[in-house]
Amino acid sequence: MIITDESALRVKCEDVSSDEVDSLRVQLEKELKLSGDRGSPGIGLAAPQIGIAKRMAIIRLNNIEINLINATIVDKYDEMIFEGEGCLSFPGKIVKSKRFNEIRVINGCEPSNFVATGMLAVVIQHELNHLEGILLPDVEIKEIKKKVRPNDLCPCGSGKKYKKCCGK
């Protein structure tokens, strides 16, 4: 069962040993499949999301299968705003976040050193955040609502002053 209790997810994980990798990978794949079967498909899952405080996560994105084992991001390029980030531990919550479009990863398994871009880079950053106890609400960009004054242009885009348009 995927954990949704925020306090239980805020754990810093320990390295996973080589003799733990196979059984943990099987558990993660099983939970990711079960989640999809229950109507909540995901593309990645980290060990703390199933109650195991180990530095391992899996990613299953289209035909890409990556097992992140004691992985670290060593370089980050091209910071961007990513719209539409979700998490199986926060069902239904979709946020805007700051991520990097390209990252270089050192992984404890094959491939041991690789570059990820685009959606794959976002998913890796998300899953590795879980291993540090960093969760979706922590990376969410909160929109700051600007107060509209009467003589400001109306936010509806009419070109009129707010007091003569939507502010009536």
pTM: 0.84
E strand segments, 4-163: 44-46, 56-61, 64-69, 72-86, 94-106, 113-117
pLDDT at position 144, please? Answer: 67
Of 97 and 145, more confident: 97
Smallest Cα–Cα separation from 46: which of 31, 34, 36?
A: 31
Span 74-92, pLDDT tens digits: 999 999 999 999 999 999 9
Mean pLDDT of 124-128: 98
Q: Which domains does the chain have, with CATH numbers?
A: 6-139 (3.90.45.10)
Span 143-166, pLDDT tens digits: 766 788 889 888 887 888 888 888
pLDDT at position 127, please? Answer: 98
Assess whether the previous peptide bond of 111 is cis (omega < 30° from 0): yes
Mean pLDDT of 15-40: 96
For the annotated catalytic residues, the residue numbers are 127
pLDDT score of 2 more than 90: yes
- Helical residues (DSSP H) of the chain, grouped into ranges: 6-9, 21-37, 118-130, 136-139
